[in-house]
Amino acid sequence: MAQFTVENLRDDLSFGSNVRGVTWDTLKDEGARQQLRDLFKQRGLLVFKDMEPTAKMQVALSKVFGPLKDHPTKTTPRDEETGDAEDGVIDMHYKPEDVGGDYSGGLVKIDGEVLTRYSPWHFDHCYNDELNYAGVLRAAVVPPEKGRTGFMDGIECYRQFPAELRDRIEGINVIYTLDTRLSRMRYGVNFELASNDMPMAVQLLKEVAIFPRAMHPAVWTRETGEKVIHVGSWMSWGLEHHEDAEGDKLLDNVCQQINAMGDGTSAYWHDWSPTDMLIWDNHRMLHAVEGCDPKYERHTIRSTIQGDYGLGYFEDGKKIGEVFREEVLLDVD
Ligand SMILES: [Fe+2]
């Protein structure tokens, strides 16, 4: 039996494990694969240490947990090494010298520091009716400081959330759209803008218009009985049936509370090594990127695993392509 070892990510966290010793042999062993799947269900976040840092290994590890899912948009760049042969391995590469490139712009200022690649708390594919089960991420190039990825456990977040606020948001759906422009973020804004939006975020808008608005519950219950708070501030557009001042205030309060919990024991911030591969449960966890100094390169590669939780839907039961929401194009700079 191929051996690997498991330890808690941190002793003060109720989620997340480090896994060491996973090799090609481990991935051939069905018993080991099942153990990894069970561990992942339980812990929600696994950090595989000392992995072979290749796209091939990333795809093989991802497939332990389910089939790959392609990205719902055409604009998002795919990884060069795997290309079209593997569905939806996406490549996020910021190079400081690439002035005016896809990942230029989108700068924010937080505590007096200008940062690139900042991402507020969110879950992937929130703008879609169907979520992906999990994301697998590695960082081929990491900045020498900052650039960490944050993960917040929705189960722990639910336990720690102020009861009054939690009761008000339970049973309500949040509306999401694919508008990734930080300049248009409406709730939980904890930064100042320091540049125009990323050119890619603006390019994406052409695709956004044909996406109906997506709805996902703010709180949901897992098969295993735990309740999960699952609200992303990034890409959220309001509360279903509460698109009014009161609903806006409630969603802003929830998002500000989630931001505040990013510093406590609901969240874990990962400092990357190029040989780490990390998987998170996208139905349960939120994630965020703290950003880094724009003078540093940052390159991350993500694969996405299929498996929906079945609670999201598009407004009015429409499908992609059945709407054209002109309003998203009206305010393009
Ligand atoms: Fe993400």
Burial of 283 (0-12, 13-18, 19+ CB in 10 A): buried
CA-based max dimension of the chain:
59
What is the residue whose two structure tokens read 């939980």? 188
Question: For residue 316, what is the DSSP state?
Answer: G
Do 72 and 177 meet the contact criterion of CB atoms below 8 Å apart?
no
Give distance in angstroms: CA of 122 to centre of ligand 1: 6
Give distance in angstroms: CA of 212 to centre of ligand 1: 20
**Alpha-carbon distances of 36 from 64, 202, 242, rounded to whole Å:** 8, 39, 41
Q: Is residue 38 part of a domain?
A: no
Q: Is residue 241 part of a domain?
A: yes
pLDDT tens, position by position, 25-58 = 999 999 999 999 999 999 999 999 999 999 899 9
Give distance in angstroms: CA of 121 to centre of ligand 1: 8
Give distance in angstroms: CA of 146 to centre of ligand 1: 17
Q: Is residue 49 part of a domain?
A: no
Give distance in angstroms: CA of 131 to centre of ligand 1: 12
Q: Is residue 25 part of a domain?
A: no
What is the domain range of residue 198? 70-330
Confidence of residue 217 (pLDDT cuts 50, 70, 90): very high
Q: What is the CATH number of the domain that holds 245?
A: 3.60.130.10
Give distance in angstroms: CA of 1 to centre of ligand 1: 35
Do 64 and 30 meet the contact criterion of CB atoms below 8 Å apart?
no
Give distance in angstroms: CA of 34 to centre of ligand 1: 26
CA–CA gap between residue 131 and residue 72 (Å, rounded) = 10
CA–CA gap between residue 246 and residue 46 (Å, rounded) = 38
pLDDT for 303: 93
Give distance in angstroms: CA of 180 to centre of ligand 1: 11
Give distance in angstroms: CA of 299 to centre of ligand 1: 14
Average pLDDT taken over every residue of the chain: 92
**Taking Cα atoms as reference points, which of 153, 134, 141, 54 lies closest to residue 94?**
141
Q: Is residue 158 part of a domain?
A: yes
Domain count, the chain: 1
Q: Is residue 3 part of a domain?
A: no
Do 235 and 126 meet the contact criterion of CB atoms below 8 Å apart?
yes
Give distance in angstroms: CA of 3 to centre of ligand 1: 31
Give distance in angstroms: CA of 288 to centre of ligand 1: 7
Confidence of residue 86 (pLDDT cuts 50, 70, 90): low
Give distance in angstroms: CA of 163 to centre of ligand 1: 28
Confidence of residue 84 (pLDDT cuts 50, 70, 90): very low
Give distance in angstroms: CA of 170 to centre of ligand 1: 24
Give distance in angstroms: CA of 266 to centre of ligand 1: 18
Lowest-confidence region among 179-188, 198-207, 233-242: 198-207
Q: Is residue 1 part of a domain?
A: no
Give distance in angstroms: CA of 287 to centre of ligand 1: 6
Give distance in angstroms: CA of 124 to centre of ligand 1: 5
Give distance in angstroms: CA of 125 to centre of ligand 1: 8
Do 178 and 71 meet the contact criterion of CB atoms below 8 Å apart?
no
The mean per-residue pLDDT over the stretch 268-277 comes to 97
The mean per-residue pLDDT over the stretch 248-277 comes to 97
Give distance in angstroms: CA of 234 to centre of ligand 1: 10
Q: Is residue 59 part of a domain?
A: no
